[in-house]
A and B are shown apart, each in its own frame.
Chain A
């Protein structure tokens, strides 16, 4: 099962929304390592050029960046037009983009609380996390269906399966009413993606498979106080490293998983094994 084998991906484009973010880049690296061409749909370009050079050096495959706002149907359609001109089919879609306002940032602390959470923030989060995933599924899923085959992976979270433990985000020196919390939209978006997965997996089941992964939190420079609290909630006693989801991404995109459809897969060191 080494390269040139069952986990190898069909030649073609694999669209990763939010692909220049922390996890998105990992998905793209994994896709390229197994012969697919990663196509990033993101509103930010960030360090794409440097990232693309690195991926190309390691895999000889050059990722593609297309500036796309996934909350805007026209923007997605324009990006798809660009791909249409190339002589390759779209084989996969990873609905990965999310608005991730940091819980720890001071300014957000109060406004993230449910009693203060603004309708505007709610709309923005739902627009990227759910509406964006819906639009990409609709437009890109349809193309894959018409072309005969494709795979969709939705990126939910362990917090799509359980409620956030708000104790984790508490900081000393703040009143209870001022403590930061994980915003309500995170739970709603991530649970919604599980519903979208179930719907999509039974919609074009003969041609387009759809599965969902629920990753646990990634070790990414969080403060020690947070780390020591969250570790206790995870049987494996640690958070994930950012590359630990690459295996399942390739597995789900490849034909090794050709009978997997509608699966909601928790990969969280055991946190949601209740």
Chain B
């Protein structure tokens, strides 16, 4: 498919994670310029193939001035076309009501950081664009099926992800037609170092049983399954009328409970 991504400039926040890094690889393959945002101290130890079109920037999501400066810098190198936010994490404590400080951490990671990055992105990009109506700009959030169904995930995680899906819908009205805003809701995605890898190694759940009981396709998804769709949504050529959509990729898990 000609995705027309050649030389488009995209920020991928959370681009060193499992799904994020696969998405970066695919975008680069498609010829896009990608600026990866991360807070990781080890931001230099990534495995991306060398490319002139890739830069990895250590930013500070909690400091809005730094964030805005980093987005502006990226925009100055080349005008930005889109933002994909893969920041988020569902690992937490087992209590029903998390302690206040943990609850705040989870909300921050899964709602406020994505919200703040998109706020700053919109501010920077709006300033530097003369177009009002072209819908070439996009924001893609990453939620989870925990936003929609009971998965016994940490309470605050599921609720924060629901808020993120609602944010997608609010922004899809308020930022249109200049931006297309959509959201991907992955099901159980397995990758080395990811939540399911850890659960499997801990032996706390019988994974084969869980998959056969809960997931019609009886398997985990892979990072590529999500990355392909994230790349698809980045292409204003093939996804030009997608706006306000929350698309689940879950092997059918949320279809039959």
CB distance from B133 to the nearest CB of A (A): 8
A262/B216 contact (C-beta < 8 A), A1-B231, A6-B228 known: yes
A235–B244 contact, CB under 8 A? yes
Q: Would you call B172 and A261 a contact (CB within 8 A)? A: no
A72 vs chain B, min Cβ distance (A)? 30
Q: Using Cβ atoms and an 8 Å threshold, which residues of chain B touch A240?
A: 241
Assess whether A272 is in contact with B228, with CB atoms less than 8 Å apart.
no
Other-chain contact of A205, B231, B240, B245, B252 (Cβ < 8 Å): B252
Q: Say yes or no for B48: interface residue by CB 8 A criterion.
A: no
Question: Would B254 and A262 count as touching, CB distance under 8 A?
Answer: yes
Which of B113-121, B197-205, B218-226 contacts its partner?
B218-226
When the two chains form the complex, which single residue of B26, B187, B218 contacts A206, counting CB atoms closer than 8 Å? B218
Chain A residues whose C-beta falls within 8 Å of the C-beta of B173 in the assembled complex: 235, 270, 273
- Nearest CB to that of A8 among chain B residues? B1
Q: Give the distance in Å from the alpha carbon of A11 to the alpha carbon of B216 in the complex.
A: 26
Q: Does B232 contact A (CB under 8 A)?
A: yes
In Å, the complex CA distance between A268 and B239 comes to 11
Stretch of A20-28, A176-184, A245-253 lying at the B interface: A245-253
**Is A78 located at the chain interface by the 8 A CB criterion?**
no
Most chain B CB within a 10 A radius of its CB, from A2, A238, A257, A260: A260
Answer yes or no: A94 CB below 8 A from chain B CBs. Answer: no
Report the separation of the CA atoms of residues A168 and B244 in the bound assembly, to the nearest whole angstrom. Answer: 22
| Distance A59 CA – B9 CA, assembled complex (angstroms) | 31
Which residue on B lies nearest to A6, using beta carbons? B228
Shortest beta-carbon distance from A7 to chain B in Å: 4
> B135 at interface (Cβ–Cβ under 8 A)?
yes
Is residue A274 contacting chain B, with contact meaning CB distance below 8 A? yes
Given A247-B238, A263-B249, is A1 in contact with B3 using a C-beta cutoff of 8 Å? yes
Q: Which A residues lie within 8 Å of B254 (CB)?
A: 262
Contact yes or no, A34 B244, CB < 8 A: no
Are A262 and B255 in contact, CB atoms less than 8 angstroms apart? yes
User: Is B247 among interface residues, defined by CB-CB distance under 8 A?
Assistant: yes
Q: Which residues from A are CB-within-8-Å of B255?
A: 198, 201-202, 261-262
Chain B residues, Cβ within 8 Å of A258: 225
Distance A267 CA – B216 CA, assembled complex (angstroms): 25
Contacting pair A274 B216 (CB below 8 A):
no
Query: Given A2-B2, A248-B239, A206–B217 Cβ distance below 8 Å?
Result: yes
Task: Mark contacts of A227-269 with chain B using CB atoms, 8 A cut-off: 1 yes-contact digit, 0 otherwise.
Answer: 0000000011110100011111011000011111111011111
Number of B residues with CB within 8 Å of any CB on chain A: 45
B38 within 8 A of A: no
B43 on interface, CB distance cutoff 8 Å: no
Q: Is A216 an interface residue (CB 8 A)?
A: yes
Decide: B176 and A247 in contact? CB cutoff 8 A: no
Residue pair A273, B244 in contact (C-beta under 8 Å):
yes
Residues on the A chain within 8 Å of B90, using CB: none
Task: Let me know if B17 is at the binding interface, CB within 8 A.
Answer: no
> What chain B residues lie within 8 Å of A274 (beta carbons)?
169
B140 at the interface (CB under 8 A from A): no
User: Whole-angstrom distance from the CB of B122 to the nearest CB of chain A?
Assistant: 15
Specify which chain A residues have a CB less than 8 angstroms from the CB of B228 in the assembled complex.
6, 251, 256-257
Among candidates B26, B216, B245, residue contacting A1 with C-beta atoms closer than 8 Å: B26
Residue of A209, A265, A269 touching B247 (CB-CB under 8 A): A265
- B83 to A: closest C-beta gap in Å: 17
A174 to B139 CA separation, bound complex (whole angstroms): 44
Query: If A205-B252, A236-B135 touch, does A34 touch B218 (CB 8 Å cutoff)?
Result: no
A270 touches B244 (CB 8 A): yes
B242 on the A face (CB < 8 A)? yes
B residues within 8 A CB of A244?
240-241
Identify the A interface with B (CB < 8 A). Answer: 1-3, 6-7, 34, 198, 201-202, 205-206, 209, 215-216, 235-238, 240, 244-248, 250-251, 256-263, 265-270, 272-274
- A-B complex: 5 closest residue pairs judged by Cβ atoms: A273-B244, A247-B238, A262-B255, A205-B216, A235-B176
5 contacts between A and B (CB under 8 A): A235-B177, A248-B238, A257-B229, A261-B251, A266-B244
A-B contacts besides A263-B248, A273-B172, 20 pairs, CB < 8 Å: A202-B256, A205-B252, A209-B217, A215-B241, A235-B172, A236-B241, A248-B238, A251-B229, A256-B229, A257-B249, A259-B187, A259-B249, A261-B216, A261-B250, A262-B254, A262-B255, A268-B243, A269-B241, A270-B243, A274-B169
